[in-house]
Structure 1
Amino acid sequence: MMQDLREKTKWIMIVVAVAFVALMVFEWGMDISGGSAGAETGAVGQVDGRSVTYQAYMEVYQNLYQRAQQQEGGQLSQEQIRQIEDMAWEQVVNQALLQRELERRGIRVSNAEILQAARFMPHPELAQNELFQTNGQFDLSKYQQFLSSPAANDELLQQLELYYREVLPQAKLMRQVTAGLYVTDAEMWQSYRDRNETTTVNYVTLDVARLVPGEVTITDAEIRSYYNANRETFRRPATARLTVGHLPKGATAADTTASLERAREVRAEIIGGADFTEIARRESADPGSAAQGGDLGRFGRGQMVPAFEQVAFSVPVGEVSEPVQTPFGFHLIQVQERSEGEVQARHILIPVQRSEEAEDQLYARADSLEQVAERAGVERAARVVGGQVIEGVVASTADHFVPEVGSVLEAVEWARDEMREGTAAGATSPLFETPEAFYVARMEAFSPAGEIPLAEATPQIRRQLTLEKKREQARVIGQQMVAEVRGGKPLQQAASERGLQVQSTGPFTRAGLNPALGQANAAVGSAFGVPIGQVSDVVGTTAGLFIIAPTERTEADRAAFEAQKDQQRGMETMRAQQEHIARWIQSLRNQAEIVDRRAEILQRRI
């Protein structure tokens, strides 16, 4: 083994060195406080008077950009680049604030603490190195043997020391920030109940149009009063009306078949005796679970997409499912444990990806889409390449998602620039790309950002006030229905007399999303709070007005809760810590003086 260690030490050193640089720049923002680098490269901003250097910002930006490119597998759109720029800025600011806190609290680490961490807390990259594993699991004795061997030379040990001098203060700071956090048994029991208790209900949707037909009176004074009270909502972002010709980037039927066959091959390999964990690390495209051997932890109903959930709650424990198709690709699911309303499972995701031939054909069609659109118009271009046309697309800088196309923010900004240059409506854009499609757009109209005048806002306000008045009248009618049912009339009869229907939904949990009633709202609360056989008052949600009549309910198993309580406490505590840290960092940001000069500095460098 020693010979092997000596030969591979240089690669271990490279891994640690790269990770250390990433830590200092990506996690802690090396050179954030300025110094000589600031004089040479300029500052893109300040945090409480400390310069954020161009170099520090660009290091983080490039790291994020490269990761995004790897995930997307190609070129990034302008909107994605803008998001990465903002993420990089958020990270360097946060790390500057954390560094200030380390200094303010005087957090240091001793040599003894570094030695202890190096021996018992291996660098994550080293923990996954095959040299230090036995049967696919990290072997601490192999790692410690390596540290005490000549293969661990001075250069490597120095890099490890620098790594721990950065990591350990961060860990100490986070422990201080989260000290005193404790998740009580009562809180865990409620969380467990939210995920595991189920109810089935009958419900009546109060159809406002049916219950309150015709017009209602809306006065000019009411419209003006609403406008004045909600003036901020009547600010219009830059908005364009477009005709969009798009070419979807989805995989072909042949690509889907190829991915399905690959999933079947992987399943056969596992059934033939291969280790699920190792296969998941090798094959799975799920970035959140692949490194953990596909482990998804525990989850309840409503937390996964329907197709995945159906199999997870039905496949025999221990068996590897047949490939399950979801929007993400094909999954091989293995349930390790299943209790009432909850499973612990792992999976392997085989994505559906375009073949090299299909990729070449797609890009050739995209080129044709742009060329034909410029020459003969958007509609003809879409027909020629086998694409689709969407007319009347209204998109703004605030709301720019279009189904099947994705974000058309680039087209909105193009239209804005065209109008500034005096270009008339009818101009055709260059080719744009999103993760979902290639597209071109024709500008039909453009409105600059600004306040919407009362005259223009009046139709919208009238509709809103009409809806509110009708909802209030429908609520009164609904309460009459409730009184009748509580007086002995069947809910079905009370509903049918008013042209309404009684429907049923469930079983569902408090934590899950119910397609009829929504999630975590008054309707769901009534579904669990109203006794079986009784009806709720009229409850309102963003989806409408409802009367709820629970018909069946399953209680959580207290014994099952107690059996998994320790594991749940760990998960709940980690979640509480993460939420607390996020709030704490936000409070630091709120108190800090943050100056963002990126627009000025970066523009100067173009």
Structure 2
Amino acid sequence: MLTWINENAKWVIAIFAVGIALGLLAMDRTPEQSHQYPIGRVDGVEIPYAEFNNRVNRITETNYRGQNLSDEQRAQLRNNIFQSFVQQELLKAQFDENALYASVAEMKAELKNNPDVVRRLVGEEAQQRVYAIQANSASEQEAAQNVQTFIQTLPKFLLDTAFDKAAFDAWLETPAAYEWLNMQNYEQELKTMTIPLHQLQIFVTANAHPTSLESQWNVNNRLVSQDVEVAFTSANDFQVDPASVDSLKVNAYFDAHQDSFFVTKDQVRLAYAYLPIQPTAKDEEEIRKYAMTVYYQVKDSNSTSSFEEMAKVASEDVGTAANGGLLGDYTARGTWVKEFEDVAFALDSGAISEPVRTKFGYHIIQSLGKMKDSTGTEKVKAAHILFSVTASPETIDSLEKILAGIKSAVEESDSSFIDAAAARKVPVRETAWLGRDDEIQEVGFVGGLSAFAFVNKERPDLAEGKVSGALKNNDFVIVVNRIETLEAGKRNIGPYYEQIKRNLLLQESKDAAAHYLNSVAEKVKAVELVTDSATGSAKADTSVEKVTIEKATASFDGFVPGIGYSNPTLFRILSQQKVGEWGEPVVTNDGAAMVKILNRSVPDTTAAKTALTEDLANTWRFGYAMLFNEYVQNLEKAANVESNLDLYYRE
């Protein structure tokens, strides 16, 4: 019916070719013989590629069916699944080391205590068997008979409206319960992961017993409150000359604190030449012509395609295409961009506009009616077909050709990367230190960056050379040159140099703020805060230059302006300072502050007892989960994890 689209759709042939290329990338069989390598290793234990790929496909089919995931989303999904395999292998090692195995009694208890899970699993498999019966039957009548016969064999608890727990428990005692493939898989999951994991949680948290003394401490910190006056000044008002922190100071700080700058993962610093992907005038004209073609089609009274049908197949507005381009209900002015709005309100009901250019692209607009509401406001109901103005494959190819010239000049003519880029008037930037999954901040996610930046240890022969091939996302095409690499396990100032310098500059600013606050301390102490008659609270005072003075109610776990939320500085002030006196200026996270405690109050006995009971209960409820999560995170930090994701997935 819409065969004409094959002749007129924008970039249709190019998009089809790109689709094939992306499909091949998605198959991820990059290097020959790559199937013999695991997808990764955890402390020397291999993670088979086949198992990883099966899980990726299963999760994609289950959770993202029908969705067009971007390269970035696919990469993130694979990273998350790889992480789940890492955790799985680490936990299995702990199960074996501690001889944690599921007993028959534990298996039966889990099955009996989770009837909803069992019903869902068996129900899903039963539905799949029904589909298979229907597909393999010679006629509808035969299919109906076969399905009915199959239903008679299903367990009673699966068919009854009201769940019969006794019938369910009895079914679990029969061999028939374990003939279901989903039940076998669930049993295996319980046996190899769920039950041993629960046992490990018990072992790890066995010595973690919350005491009333600890809870009493927490309650006192939370409920004991002080009314205070606080005077604070910001480090931002005391900026120091960046030259005051030179490389000698930075290196000296690093040398004195080397253990704080351990490199936990492989890192690389890159130079990249980049060209923005922007549509040319020719691209714009081609898209306008395509929009006009669609316009003539929907305006043609002899066409078999309605506006709604055309919107579903041609519109690039993913939010409205499925609904035939409908833009909600009747809409007043001020909702749409002006160019669109002017045309939509000018159309007669049922009329269709020629393509209208806005910042979003070209729109073909159909008016579906006008009305005035009770206030006399004119409203329009409209639908549209959107054609985004994007760079054509031809335009992108021309950009890639320019960048390919840089690669050739560096690798074949021994030119420097910067000189080769300059000769082609292509700008070059350098990145900060990047880890394997990090993005170039100014560019965003670019498929293939990690595969080039980090040479795979299994297949170093796959390294592309000094300069990458053209890499791209929706906004840029780039080529990349490695400047410096750094292996995990080293102590190196490189990744931390700028961070150390910023921290030292900030510390100098905070020290200057504290020195200034000390110099005006007597002026601060002389200020009397004025009460706002409307609110009954004290107004903030800024009569002392660069200083703000406020009243606040503070607790050890609370927030105080200029000092922050629940930090050691706040604790020292509130626990050590006398009531009724101003304390000395202290350096804070944001600058400097000085505090006067006006009064201190303690909770009544009933409130304290209630809070104590709640704190103990919360520690039991949440403390163990947090402790076990920390345990697993520490296992991951200590593990030797090797990833071959970039060997199989190089897009």
Using the size of structure 2 for normalisation, the TM-score is 0.48
The separation in 1 between residues aligned to 2:40 and 2:494, in whole angstroms, is 43
Instruction: Check conservation: 2:466, 2:481, Cα contact below 8 A.
Output: no
Instruction: Check conservation: 2:579, 2:599, Cα contact below 8 A.
Output: yes
Quote how far apart the aligned CAs of 1:596 are. 3.5
Match in the other structure for 1:500:
546
Quote how far apart the aligned CAs of 1:127 are. 8.5
What is the SS of the residue equivalent to 2:545?
A: coil
The separation in 2 between residues aligned to 1:219 and 1:518, in whole angstroms, is 30
The separation in 2 between residues aligned to 1:479 and 1:47, in whole angstroms, is 55
1:357-392 alpha-carbon deviations (Å, 9 max, x no partner): 99x958x556x3876566589xxxxxxxxxxxx998
Match in the other structure for 2:195:
168
Q: Of 227, 232, 238, which aligns to 2:269?
A: 238
Instruction: Check conservation: 1:370, 1:440, Cα contact below 8 A.
Output: no
Match in the other structure for 2:167:
145
Instruction: Check conservation: 1:369, 1:440, Cα contact below 8 A.
Output: no
- Aligned in 2, Cα 1:224/1:515: closer, same or farther, shift over 3 Å? same
Instruction: Check conservation: 2:524, 2:544, Cα contact below 8 A.
Output: no
The separation in 1 between residues aligned to 2:276 and 2:202, in whole angstroms, is 53
Q: How does 1:535-550 map to 2 (within 5 A)?
A: 535-549=582-596
Instruction: Check conservation: 1:523, 1:548, Cα contact below 8 A.
Output: no
RMSD: 6.4
Aligned-partner residue type, residue 545 of structure 1 = A
Match in the other structure for 1:478:
517
What is the SS of the residue equivalent to 1:238?
A: strand
The separation in 2 between residues aligned to 1:579 and 1:174, in whole angstroms, is 11
What is the SS of the residue equivalent to 1:546?
A: strand
1:76-100 alpha-carbon deviations (Å, 9 max, x no partner): 4164155235414422322321331
Quote how far apart the aligned CAs of 1:218 are. 6.6
Instruction: Check conservation: 1:239, 1:412, Cα contact below 8 A.
Output: no
Instruction: Check conservation: 1:416, 1:448, Cα contact below 8 A.
Output: no
Q: Of 388, 394, 397, which aligns to 2:434?
A: 397
Instruction: Check conservation: 1:199, 1:554, Cα contact below 8 A.
Output: yes
The separation in 1 between residues aligned to 2:208 and 2:197, in whole angstroms, is 18
The separation in 2 between residues aligned to 1:466 and 1:85, in whole angstroms, is 41
The separation in 2 between residues aligned to 1:453 and 1:100, in whole angstroms, is 37
- Aligned in 2, Cα 1:465/1:99: closer, same or farther, shift over 3 Å? closer
The separation in 2 between residues aligned to 1:234 and 1:114, in whole angstroms, is 44
What is the SS of the residue equivalent to 1:179?
A: coil
The separation in 2 between residues aligned to 1:49 and 1:415, in whole angstroms, is 24
The separation in 1 between residues aligned to 2:40 and 2:450, in whole angstroms, is 29
Q: Rg larger in 1 or in 2?
A: 2
Match in the other structure for 1:119:
112
What is the SS of the residue equivalent to 2:475?
A: strand
The separation in 2 between residues aligned to 1:403 and 1:92, in whole angstroms, is 32
- Aligned in 2, Cα 1:527/1:415: closer, same or farther, shift over 3 Å? same
Match in the other structure for 2:475:
439
What is the SS of the residue equivalent to 2:208?
A: coil
Match in the other structure for 2:571:
525
The separation in 2 between residues aligned to 1:115 and 1:49, in whole angstroms, is 35
- Aligned in 2, Cα 1:496/1:53: closer, same or farther, shift over 3 Å? closer
What is the SS of the residue equivalent to 2:593?
A: strand
Question: Structure 2 regions of 5+ residues with no counterpart?
Answer: 1-34, 124-155, 279-315, 330-382, 401-426, 456-462, 531-540
Match in the other structure for 1:87:
83
Q: How does 1:288-437 map to 2 (within 5 A)?
A: 361=386, 364-365=388-389, 368=391, 372=395, 396-398=433-435, 407=445, 431-432=472-473
Q: How does 1:38-187 map to 2 (within 5 A)?
A: 52-62=47-57, 69=64, 74-77=69-72, 79-81=75-77, 83-84=79-80, 86-103=82-99, 107-109=101-103, 111-122=104-115, 124=117, 126=119, 142-148=164-170, 154-156=176-178, 159=184, 164-166=190-192, 167-187=194-214
Instruction: Check conservation: 2:221, 2:555, Cα contact below 8 A.
Output: yes
The separation in 1 between residues aligned to 2:256 and 2:277, in whole angstroms, is 41
Quote how far apart the aligned CAs of 1:415 are. 8.9
- Aligned in 2, Cα 1:90/1:163: closer, same or farther, shift over 3 Å? closer
1:205-251 alpha-carbon deviations (Å, 9 max, x no partner): 4345756877996788656644655789699841446778699x999
Quote how far apart the aligned CAs of 1:500 are. 1.4
The separation in 1 between residues aligned to 2:386 and 2:600, in whole angstroms, is 55
The separation in 2 between residues aligned to 1:512 and 1:76, in whole angstroms, is 43
Q: Of 578, 585, 594, which aligns to 2:625?
A: 578
1:166-189 alpha-carbon deviations (Å, 9 max, x no partner): 443432332233224222234345
The separation in 2 between residues aligned to 1:373 and 1:441, in whole angstroms, is 8
Match in the other structure for 1:34:
none
Quote how far apart the aligned CAs of 1:454 are. 10
- Aligned in 2, Cα 1:535/1:456: closer, same or farther, shift over 3 Å? same
Aligned-partner residue type, residue 75 of structure 1 = S
1:276-295 alpha-carbon deviations (Å, 9 max, x no partner): xxxxxxxxxxxxxxxxxxxx
Question: Structure 1 regions of 5+ residues with no counterpart?
Answer: 1-39, 263-356, 378-389, 433-437
The separation in 1 between residues aligned to 2:630 and 2:237, in whole angstroms, is 46
- Aligned in 2, Cα 1:410/1:50: closer, same or farther, shift over 3 Å? closer
The separation in 2 between residues aligned to 1:370 and 1:555, in whole angstroms, is 71
The separation in 2 between residues aligned to 1:552 and 1:475, in whole angstroms, is 25
- Aligned in 2, Cα 1:118/1:208: closer, same or farther, shift over 3 Å? closer
Q: How does 1:278-297 map to 2 (within 5 A)?
A: none
The separation in 1 between residues aligned to 2:272 and 2:649, in whole angstroms, is 33
The separation in 2 between residues aligned to 1:233 and 1:46, in whole angstroms, is 26
The separation in 2 between residues aligned to 1:70 and 1:53, in whole angstroms, is 25
Instruction: Check conservation: 2:467, 2:479, Cα contact below 8 A.
Output: no
Instruction: Check conservation: 1:244, 1:440, Cα contact below 8 A.
Output: yes
The separation in 1 between residues aligned to 2:62 and 2:432, in whole angstroms, is 29
Aligned-partner residue type, residue 195 of structure 2 = L
The structure with the greater share of residues assigned to strand is: 1
The separation in 1 between residues aligned to 2:451 and 2:178, in whole angstroms, is 50
The separation in 2 between residues aligned to 1:195 and 1:70, in whole angstroms, is 48
What is the SS of the residue equivalent to 1:206?
A: strand
The separation in 2 between residues aligned to 1:483 and 1:546, in whole angstroms, is 14
The separation in 2 between residues aligned to 1:411 and 1:605, in whole angstroms, is 8
The separation in 2 between residues aligned to 1:196 and 1:208, in whole angstroms, is 31
Aligned-partner residue type, residue 516 of structure 2 = I
1:239-280 alpha-carbon deviations (Å, 9 max, x no partner): 446778699x9998999xx9x999xxxxxxxxxxxxxxxxxx
1:458-495 alpha-carbon deviations (Å, 9 max, x no partner): 99987765554454344333344457756x66699xx9
What is the SS of the residue equivalent to 2:164?
A: helix
The separation in 2 between residues aligned to 1:553 and 1:461, in whole angstroms, is 39
Q: How does 1:183-194 map to 2 (within 5 A)?
A: 183-191=210-218
The separation in 2 between residues aligned to 1:405 and 1:458, in whole angstroms, is 23
- Aligned in 2, Cα 1:473/1:242: closer, same or farther, shift over 3 Å? same
The separation in 1 between residues aligned to 2:614 and 2:228, in whole angstroms, is 32
What is the SS of the residue equivalent to 1:83?
A: helix
Aligned-partner residue type, residue 547 of structure 2 = Q
